[in-house]
Structure 1
Amino acid sequence: MSYRFSQNRACEFFPCHKVADDSKFNCLFCYCPLYLLKKDCGGNFKYSENIKDCSFCLIPHGENGYDYIMEKMEEVIKRCGE
């Protein structure tokens, strides 16, 4: 389904993470909406001082990334209202 996948090969950073097969690299969530969930996002991240480093996380760019993020969006919306 096209609304679940978008790719921008013209982007100067494509792909922004090292992957084995960039034909399946999804750019739809270029900036991950789960970032604000901090440690509860479920991704592969680390903190460097007080900065969340998501450069090792491929969840938003993977084949099931859309479904994973949509499952977490209720929590994102809830936290935005706090």
Structure 2
Amino acid sequence: MSENYKFFNHKNCEYFPCHKTNKPEEFNCLFCYCPLYALGKNCGGNFRYTDKGIKDCSQCLLPHNKNNYDYIMSKFQDIIKVASEKE
């Protein structure tokens, strides 16, 4: 079975690539906005918090790595838990 659904490269996007990369042909745009952001320090990505406490993901390529689809999908139960706690 094909796994083409795990990767989307939108070279025509005016923001492409939104993060610096030396492999633009492998840049995955599928998760344009990272679904793991809400997990805070538990997202698994390369982030930092600014002096004002804002999560800065500008150096993170985790959702844009063509091999990380399965990792992101494995975190959806954690995302659901975070969302349900806030309601």
Report the TM-score range of the alignment, normalised by the length of the smaller protein.
Answer: over 0.9
TM-score, structure 1 normalization: 0.94
| Residue-by-residue CA offset, 1:21-48 (whole Å, 9 max, x unaligned) | 1101000000000000001101100011
Aligned-residue offset at 1:64: 1.8
- Give the drift of 1:69: 0.5
Which runs of at least 4 in structure 1 moved beyond 2 Å after TM superposition? none
Query: For 2:59, what is the secondary structure of its paired residue?
Result: coil
Say which of 11, 14, 24 aligns to 1:12.
14
Q: Which runs of 5+ in 2 are unaligned?
A: none
Residues of 2 paired with 1:23 and 1:6: CA distance? 10
Match status 1:57 vs 2:60: yes
Q: How many residues align?
A: 82
Aligned residue type for 2:59: F
Q: Deviations over 1:34-69 (max 9, x none)?
A: 000001101100011121100111110002221110
Match of 1:23 among 3, 22, 25: 25
CA RMSD of aligned residues (A): 0.9
Sequence identity percentage? 57
State which structure, 1 or 2, has the greater radius of gyration over its C-alpha atoms. Answer: 2
State the TM-score, normalized to the length of structure 2: 0.89
Q: Is 1:66 aligned to residue 69 of structure 2?
A: yes
